[in-house]
Amino acid sequence: MNMFTKRYYIFIFLTIIYINNIYSQQSGNEDDFKKAEIYFFQNKYGASKQLLLQVIKTSPSHPKAFSYLGDISLVSERYDEALQYYQIAKDLSANPGAEFFRMGQIYIKLKKPDEAIKAFQTAVELNSSLKQSYFQLGYVWLVLKREKQHTIEYWQKYLDIAPQDPQYEDIKRAIALLSEEDFVIPDIGSDVSLEEALMLGGKAIEAERANAKDKTAGNEKEKTSNRTEGLLDKAPVDDL
């Protein structure tokens, strides 16, 4: 066996070792990711986050890991941190609609209506099954913009495509009141709440919206589904 042949076999041997190490590392990362996912849905966010940070350290192009880190930050109300993770996740994901939806939720919390509107519009453009985006768009126009026409437009579109929504009648009644020519939306800080103005007897309208803590596939097919949550997100109108 000449020197060239020996070097060739050594090269092949080292290449095999290198590839096996990569596969082993990837397998280990996926095991850690699956454990992190289990911890997440058990509300063990600290343990989940530690595993996810290990995953992205060795697999910096793992979109789901970044997305879960964003979810952990979102449910922990660390909104700026959540935005950073979702920004990375959406750039890496082949289907980033869910990340844009999450970002829209955060912008509502941060009282940034223009950014929220853009995020929800992008979410439903990328993933038409994210129909909750239409409700959220109406929510932004009503609560943060205090504008009737766009609220009516988006909520009616939502009802048209979500007729089975359990809050259908409440939303329909709110649309009817908003459509009245002499109806005036209370200003932010008004003594009259939106619920009172919409004749809901203090009951907040609820509609489906994505929740980071739900695992059932639902509209996003992979890690989240939807639950009902109050129109005002359980926050007083004066705080918005």
**Domain locations along the chain:** 1-94, 131-240
**Fold of domain 1-94:** 1.25.40
Q: What is the DSSP annotation of 141-192?
A: IIIIS--HHHHHHHHHHHHHH-TT-TTHHHHHHHHHHHHSTT--PPPTT-SS
What is the pLDDT at residue 9? Answer: 42
User: Would you state the structure tokens that stand for residue 171, as one six-digit string?
Assistant: 């939303």
Say whether pLDDT at 206 is over 50.
yes
What would the mean pLDDT of 224-228 be, rounded to a whole number? 38
What would the mean pLDDT of 33-41 be, rounded to a whole number? 92
